[in-house]
Structure 1
Amino acid sequence: MPSVAFRAVALVTLALVSACSREQAPPKRAPVPVTAVTAATRDMPVLVSAPGSVEAINSVAVKSLVDGQLLEVRIRDGADVHAGELLFRIDPRPAQAALQQALSAQAKDQAALEQARSQVKRYQDLAAKGYLSADQMEQYRTNLQAAIASVKVDEANVAAARVTLSYTDIHAPISGRIGRILIQAGNVVKANDTNPLVTINQIEPIYVSFSLPSALLGRMQVAQKGGALAAQARVIGIDQPVEGKVAFIDNAVDGATGTVKLRAEFANDGHVLWPGQLVNVNLTLGHDANAVVVPQQTIQNGPDGSYVFVVRADHTAEQRAVAVARVVAGEAVVAQGLAAGETVVLDGQSRVEDKTPLAVAAP
């Protein structure tokens, strides 16, 4: 009898435990609302990126070629100047006096030349008739040649004095943007002084120098056969990149770094690029005709690398590792892990895990 009672109690206990288990079963997880996009195939450029520095094509340190007092400064700091524009004026009076002295010496020697010619012309007939010795006639001819040489020296001195006088007006040798004026009017300047009056940098066009791994050299050479390589320079704080082209590839690889130096030329009409500025350079080396592309926002980064959440047919998430080849204008080119036509989560990943049920909406 006790065994029957024991069995009855056991059955009741088991029934109660089973009922409690059914009542405490966790509720089914609600779907997480997300937006999703479909991976597509597209023709995408093959880009390589590298940091670069902006360099002026021409940079001239303007110096005086004569000594004297600086009378006028015709420009202001940071102004744009054109080739041939007057920048500075140095006191021209000493050079003008030297030119006048050279002209006076030339006039004197020109008169002596005319006299020597007259003497040769006057006495050559007498010498021919024997009324004048050969030595005397030769002396007149020598005097004429000496007078001609003196006049030629004077002409050279006058030309040199004119050049020196022209140096008192200092003109811009190139077009560009000037920096800070280092010497103001009233100061005495010296010829070829260590410190320049001002420095002019050519801004249009302008260069950007950068380096790429030598492993890309073969691909660059192949791409160059189709024309100049397109380059883009991106400046921090400016969304629109500056378009240019590669103007120079060095003829040797740097053995220490394993890189090859390049230089891209940019028209720089808007003066976005500035000498000494650091930029990021993108170089186009070709195109992938059927690249698998998704928005960059779909790519997540974890301790094991990049991954995306793929939407399965049953509207659950699958966390899948992917290999991203590059990112172009906000679109990621997926080299491995994803096929065209698959749907991936675009927004709402913060609440999604592997096998999470999803409520998918179009972006």
Structure 2
Amino acid sequence: MLFKPDTKEGAKEGTAKKSRGRGFVMTLITLAILGGLGYFGWTVWHQQPQQANGRNQRPDLPVPVLAATPRIQDVPVYLDGVGTIRALNTVTVRSQVDGKLIAVKFTEGQDVKKGDVLGEIDPALYQATYDQAVAKKAQDEAQLANQRIDLTRYEQLAASNAGSKQQADTQRAAVAQTEALVKADQAAIDNAAATLSYTKIVAPLSGRAGLRQVDQGNIIHAADATGLLVITQLQPIAVWFSLPQQQIMRVNAAASKGTLAVDVFGNDGITVIDTGKLTGIDNQVDQTTGTLKLKAEFPNANYQLWPGQFVNVRLKVETLMQALVVPTSAVQRGPIGTFSYVIGEDNVVSAKPVTVTQQNEHDAVIASGLSPTDKVVTTGFANLSDGSKVVVGRDDQTPSADLAPRKRTRGPDGQKKDGQAKDGQKDGQGKDGEHRAKRSSSEGDQKEQTGPAPGPGASGPGAKQP
């Protein structure tokens, strides 16, 4: 018996197979499109830095640089620190007696000399005490004179046996007692005179008077804490500064050889405004900061240093004799240390490692790595690498810094705008425009490179050939 196949189920199976085939093809197409887009993006992303480097780097031209030759000279070695200016002596002037302040004889801020009268206290009571002491002495001296006359008489009577010797001895003791009393009176006079002199308040040292603390007419006491004024000695003046504890041995070794010079800088941190000498080193290290305090003394002839002011100081500890010195800009730092670019034959640079002994803003002392005959690069490191060819410019070709970035003109279009400004201008004015275009183009190229512009023989995209 024959069975008729189910045509509906076969149609469904065929339709499912076709659907799976179309889905697989669409998936492959989608993956191909995504892969193409990814490759395109990756290519563009990697080509942009290369194109930028190609624009910045100009392999067809040598790198413009400035160079310098190492020099031999004596170099002082300094230790830098931060210090505080203090008056060499500071005195709070107080009254030594109690009384009414009847006169103030100084001007705030004036320079006073030692012994100048600054104020005066009412001397009436102290003058009376002095007069009493003088009168008491005169009384005792008169009594002593009478007792001496009586003693002479008693001694004569005792010698002739007309009087007793005991009476003469008693009178002699009375005379000695009165003589001692006269000496006590003199001491009282001296005490009263000293107390009377204290009514005039005088300057104990020469210096600059501060602001007045007590006004005239007030009752002042010797126990007052404020005093009448404060005098500070400004000439000479002292500076207390600190150095790291690691420099103790170096400072002590230098101080043992003689007096050390100390410089103090102005507000700009560059100008030396006064030079003095080291006068003291503290006997212990501050455990909180790990520093050692030192004291220096300065003449302060022009009053450029003021108490309480913070200053930068440097202490000269030694001098390096016949040292090899290069500009600080010639020393570069790399992953393995310091190095310098040395210009060799055919103006090709090579990087040489160097050892720096000390360095400041301007010069660096080289211990090894360079010789006095080498020529080192000081400016123009932006496009410089080991083995690059350079063109050495002059110092007067160093590009000057602009206050704001200029608008750069690149290519011949900019030259046409400047060179052919107007059709009706004369030939001389046209040439003037061409010169301005050349100058603008060269300045635009200089901003892309560190160092001076290339020499007359070099050419660039913004330069117009004659």
Of the candidates 303, 311, 314, which is equivalent to residue 282 of structure 1? 314
2:233 counterpart residue number: 202
Which moves more between the two structures, 188-197 or 274-283? Answer: 274-283
Structure 1 distance, partners of 2:235, 2:156, is: 71
1:188 counterpart residue number: 219
The 3 A distance-change label for structure 1 pair 360 and 269 is same
1:359 aligns with 2:400: no
1:170 aligns with 2:207: no
The one-letter code of the counterpart of 1:157 is A
The 3 A distance-change label for structure 1 pair 156 and 310 is same
User: CA-to-partner distance for each residue in 1:265-284, whole Å, 9 max, x for gaps?
Assistant: 22222222222222222222
1:265 counterpart residue number: 297
Of the candidates 64, 68, 85, which is equivalent to residue 54 of structure 1? 85
Of the candidates 154, 166, 182, which is equivalent to residue 185 of structure 2? 154
Structure 1 distance, partners of 2:333, 2:203, is: 55
User: CA-to-partner distance for each residue in 1:327-350, whole Å, 9 max, x for gaps?
Assistant: 45732324466554433343455x
**Following TM superposition, by how much is the alpha carbon of 1:218 offset from its aligned partner in structure 2, in angstroms?**
3.8
Structure 1 distance, partners of 2:123, 2:285, is: 53
Q: CA RMSD in A?
A: 3.2
After the TM superposition, which residues 1-363 of structure 1 pair with which residues of structure 2 at under 5 Å, given as runs?
28-237=59-268, 239-252=271-284, 259-298=291-330, 310-311=342-343, 313-315=345-347, 324-327=356-359, 330-335=362-367, 338-349=370-381, 351-354=382-385, 358-363=390-395
Determine if contact 2:264/2:272 at 8 Å carries over to the other structure. Answer: no
**Following TM superposition, by how much is the alpha carbon of 1:259 offset from its aligned partner in structure 2, in angstroms?**
4.5
Determine if contact 1:47/1:326 at 8 Å carries over to the other structure. Answer: no
The percent identity for this pair of structures is 38
The one-letter code of the counterpart of 1:236 is N
The 3 A distance-change label for structure 1 pair 56 and 122 is same
Structure 2 distance, partners of 1:233, 1:327, is: 19
Structure 1 distance, partners of 2:364, 2:105, is: 54
Which moves more between the two structures, 100-109 or 311-320? Answer: 311-320
The 3 A distance-change label for structure 1 pair 34 and 184 is farther
Determine if contact 2:339/2:354 at 8 Å carries over to the other structure. Answer: yes
Given the two structures, how large is their TM-score scaled by the length of structure 1? Answer: 0.80
Considering Cα pairs closer than 8 Å and 6+ residues apart, tell me whether 1 or 2 has the greater RCO.
1
Q: How many equivalent pairs are there?
A: 339
The 3 A distance-change label for structure 1 pair 236 and 326 is farther
**Following TM superposition, by how much is the alpha carbon of 1:146 offset from its aligned partner in structure 2, in angstroms?**
2.2
Determine if contact 2:95/2:228 at 8 Å carries over to the other structure. Answer: yes
The 3 A distance-change label for structure 1 pair 102 and 263 is same
User: CA-to-partner distance for each residue in 1:229-258, whole Å, 9 max, x for gaps?
Assistant: 222122323713421222223445556665
**Following TM superposition, by how much is the alpha carbon of 1:88 offset from its aligned partner in structure 2, in angstroms?**
1.6
Instruction: Name whichever structure is richer in strand by fraction.
Output: 1
The 3 A distance-change label for structure 1 pair 146 and 224 is same
The one-letter code of the counterpart of 2:303 is H
The 3 A distance-change label for structure 1 pair 199 and 289 is same
Which moves more between the two structures, 222-231 or 70-79? Answer: 222-231
Structure 2 distance, partners of 1:111, 1:302, is: 101
Determine if contact 2:278/2:297 at 8 Å carries over to the other structure. Answer: yes
Determine if contact 2:66/2:380 at 8 Å carries over to the other structure. Answer: yes
**Following TM superposition, by how much is the alpha carbon of 1:154 offset from its aligned partner in structure 2, in angstroms?**
0.9
User: CA-to-partner distance for each residue in 1:116-166, whole Å, 9 max, x for gaps?
Assistant: 112112222123333333443333223222221221111011101111111
Unaligned runs of 5+ in 1: 1-23
Instruction: Name whichever structure is richer in helix by fraction.
Output: 2
- 1:270 is paired with a residue whose SS is coil
The one-letter code of the counterpart of 2:320 is D
Given the two structures, how large is their TM-score scaled by the length of structure 2? Answer: 0.64
2:10 counterpart residue number: none
1:13 counterpart residue number: none
Structure 1 distance, partners of 2:254, 2:332, is: 32
Structure 2 distance, partners of 1:224, 1:348, is: 43
The one-letter code of the counterpart of 2:324 is V
Determine if contact 2:157/2:164 at 8 Å carries over to the other structure. Answer: no
Structure 1 distance, partners of 2:214, 2:340, is: 62
Structure 1 distance, partners of 2:274, 2:118, is: 31
Structure 1 distance, partners of 2:210, 2:344, is: 62
Structure 2 distance, partners of 1:80, 1:147, is: 50
Structure 2 distance, partners of 1:329, 1:246, is: 25
User: CA-to-partner distance for each residue in 1:186-228, whole Å, 9 max, x for gaps?
Assistant: 2221114211211122222222223334444444344345421
Determine if contact 1:319/1:353 at 8 Å carries over to the other structure. Answer: no
**Following TM superposition, by how much is the alpha carbon of 1:55 offset from its aligned partner in structure 2, in angstroms?**
2.6
The 3 A distance-change label for structure 1 pair 181 and 301 is farther
- 1:271 is paired with a residue whose SS is coil
Which moves more between the two structures, 315-324 or 101-110? Answer: 315-324
Structure possessing the higher radius of gyration over alpha carbons: 2
Determine if contact 2:79/2:315 at 8 Å carries over to the other structure. Answer: yes
The one-letter code of the counterpart of 1:180 is L
